[in-house]
Amino acid sequence: MHTCPVCGQLGISSWAKFRSGTLIPAVCKRCGAKSFTSPLINGLFGVVTNFGFLYSAWVAFTQWSWLPLIIFVVVLVVLELMIIKFAPLVQRRT
């Protein structure tokens, strides 16, 4: 469980935080407030993901190896777990 930015209690599950965004916010089970992971962090994660995939696909193609794609998936999972653990939630303004 993660701390709600509105009430300060543990009311947001890891799954809700993982899938939260500006269109589908995470809802606190304690106070009902809507929040999502910082848009800056989500944007940076999207850029890193896109360029990381393109680079690993290029290396895999030129080296005839699956290893760069496997490494990419492992790094992607680790980055997502770090975002779930450390990225702050911000309150959705309505």
Helices 67-86 & 39-63 angle (0-180, nearest 10) = 170
pLDDT single digits (tens) 73-89: 999 999 999 999 998 89
- Can you give the pLDDT at residue 21? 84
Question: Model-level pTM?
Answer: 0.76
Domain span at 66: 2-91
pLDDT single digits (tens) 22-73: 888 999 999 999 999 888 888 888 899 999 999 999 999 999 999 999 999 9
- Can you give the pLDDT at residue 22? 82
State the pLDDT confidence band at 94, using cuts at 50, 70 and 90: low
- Can you give the pLDDT at residue 93? 76
What are the distances in angstroms from CA 48 to CA 19, 34, 76? 18, 27, 9
Query: Domain count of the chain?
Result: 1
